[in-house]
Structure 1
Amino acid sequence: MHIFHKIEELENHFSTVSKGESKGMVPTMGALHSGHISLVKKALNENKHTIVSIFVNPTQFNNAEDLEKYPQTLKEDIALLETASKDIVVFAPSAQEIYNSDIKSESYNFDGLEKVMEGEFRDRHFDGVGTIVEKLFSIAKPDNAYFGEKDYQQLQIIKKLVEIKKIPVNVIGCPIVREESGLAMSSRNKRLTPELRTEAAFIYKTLKDAKQKFGTESALEVTEWITAQFKKNDLLKLEYFTITNADDLQTIKIKSENKKYRAFIAVYANDIRLIDNIALN
């Protein structure tokens, strides 16, 4: 296992890589779990070299308390990665290494993808995402990059970033990995009490019910039903639920037979914010 904290160290390590030896990258904010490992294994299977970045990016947090509470577990993360393979390059820089003394995000126009859902509730969040991903791609120069579909909106935005900036990397979306209860795996799950972790399975259960209802009911009817279900739940607070086109993420009113749709949800369990989504057709 190679562990680098400096950009120069990473660049020197790959300076002798032969042409044609592909590099796969899994950008993460650490607090790794089985969902991350599924991405890492796919990268290992499809590339000669695999890079996992571990960096809690300050510019994508619009809530300072959320940034402060975000788990940072580098030692445990490296131990988990070693269960997948010891032939992994870990890049774990400091904020100073990435941003120097100017910790701020660039401004991006992602053709409206950044203005809905997460963008509506988390001001400039995707400017922060775009900034760090562009920096990481510039530093590591991967051929392939792997992202989980739990953050489906982020995945679409990164694809748009690559298109806009003409970055030569293939962005690959990977299926959501879930706990036995159905709860989407997330680093934030570690902060849930046992009671809340059990109750949070309600999120995926209602998404599955929404998918079934979407076959015979309108998007508005499904949305109203979801809202009513969460009003009955004393432990979970619904922030938003929406049904969108799978490509442009715009909320729909009328269904068309030839389009793909997806449902997105954000829920608070106490102060812990959980997101999930599901393909509807």
Structure 2
Amino acid sequence: MRTVRTVAALREALAPHRAAGQRIGLVPTMGALHEGHLSLVRAARADSDVVVVSVFVNPTQFDDPNDLAAYPRTEAADVALAAAAGADLVFAPEPAELYPRGYATTVAVTGPLAESLEGAQRGRAHFDGVATVVTKLLLAVAPDAAWFGAKDAQQVVVVRRVVADLGIPVRIEVGPTVRDADGLAMSSRNVRLGPADRTRALALSRALRAVQDALGGGADVPAARDAGLTELATEGIDPEYLALVDPDTLEPAEPGRPVLVLVAARVGPVRLIDTVTVTPDAPGAL
């Protein structure tokens, strides 16, 4: 396992593998790795000859400077965990490596894919930052496939749009949300939850389950959403959004189609998101 900090060193390290026709997999992360990230590394390992994990807290996708400053940075532990999960290379650049002096280019996805939900709450610059850094990572690594987590569902939709629109030759793979035993979706931000807020945060997954159960029982979209809001209210949580949308377009959900259910809320000092997809023929279980 090797850690590199520049695009030049990354490409040099990958060159022999590319020349040999080996499959390269990329797992982009912002570090503070947990089991959700590691499940993606293991999936990439099973599919690839060489696995690259990027560890980069991308400043351009944060709308709140305090959130950026508070984001956990645990590089030494991240490198060890990535290696144990099967990574061959960790790419851990400094911000100036990806955004050098004079940098003036942004990749932007227009319309509701990037301007609704997270885009509406965090500002349109959020997904500009996501689209730009993912594009830069894909160009730096040139992987055959890149792995993302299902919990960041809108991010996945945006990344797929970027890849399709720019003709980037990469396969986007999505791993399932990994949860703690009590149902809370794993997140690098969870470490900032105190004991009381950690208990309150469980209302997010319960709300998704309530929506899921309501849809599975034949409820319409407004009634299913109300079931989720009722569950959040039991912990005094007023969500930034609880939305039921089409998984591909993020337009309002329609009867007889799969439904992507997304929730975002602040619990104490921490902003959390969670999601589940419900299909008409197989509601599944959260």
The TM-score range, normalised by the shorter chain, is over 0.9
Hey, what does 1:229 align to over in structure 2? 231
Q: SS where residue 115 of structure 2 aligns? A: coil
CA distance in 1, matches of 2:102, 2:117: 28
Is 1:50 aligned to residue 51 of structure 2?
Answer: yes
Hey, what does 1:182 align to over in structure 2? 183
| Structure 2 residue ranges without an equivalent (≥5) | 280-286
**Contact 1:95 / 1:103 at 8 angstroms: preserved in 2?**
no
- Cα offset, 1:7, TM superposition: 1.4
**Structural mapping, 1:6-45, within 5 Å:** 6-17=6-17, 18-45=19-46
Hey, what does 1:211 align to over in structure 2? 212
Hey, what does 1:115 align to over in structure 2? 115
- Cα offset, 1:104, TM superposition: 6.4
CA distance in 2, matches of 1:16, 1:229: 54
**Contact 1:23 / 1:51 at 8 angstroms: preserved in 2?**
yes
Summarize deviations over 1:137-181 as a string: whole Å, max 9, x none.
111111100000000110111011000110010011111111111
11-20 or 102-111, larger mean C-alpha shift: 102-111
Q: CA RMSD in A?
A: 1.5
Hey, what does 1:2 align to over in structure 2? 2
Q: SS where residue 263 of structure 2 aligns? A: strand
- Cα offset, 1:15, TM superposition: 1.9
**Contact 1:30 / 1:73 at 8 angstroms: preserved in 2?**
yes
- Cα offset, 1:276, TM superposition: 0.5
**Structural mapping, 1:144-223, within 5 Å:** 144-215=145-216, 216-223=218-225
- Cα offset, 1:26, TM superposition: 0.1
Hey, what does 2:255 align to over in structure 1? 256
Letter of the 2:33 counterpart: L
After superposing on structure 2, the runs of 4+ consecutive aligned residues of structure 1 that deviate more than 3 Å are: 102-105
TM-score by length of 1: 0.94
Hey, what does 2:282 align to over in structure 1? none
CA distance in 1, matches of 2:265, 2:89: 35
Summarize deviations over 1:230-253 as a string: whole Å, max 9, x none.
33423x33111010011101123x
Q: SS where residue 114 of structure 2 aligns? A: coil
TM-score by length of 2: 0.92
Aligned residue pairs, count: 276
CA distance in 1, matches of 2:255, 2:146: 32
Letter of the 1:218 counterpart: D
Q: SS where residue 235 of structure 2 aligns? A: coil
Is 1:132 aligned to residue 133 of structure 2?
Answer: yes
**Contact 2:203 / 2:235 at 8 angstroms: preserved in 1?**
no
CA distance in 1, matches of 2:35, 2:90: 17
- Cα offset, 1:110, TM superposition: 4.5
CA distance in 2, matches of 1:74, 1:93: 11
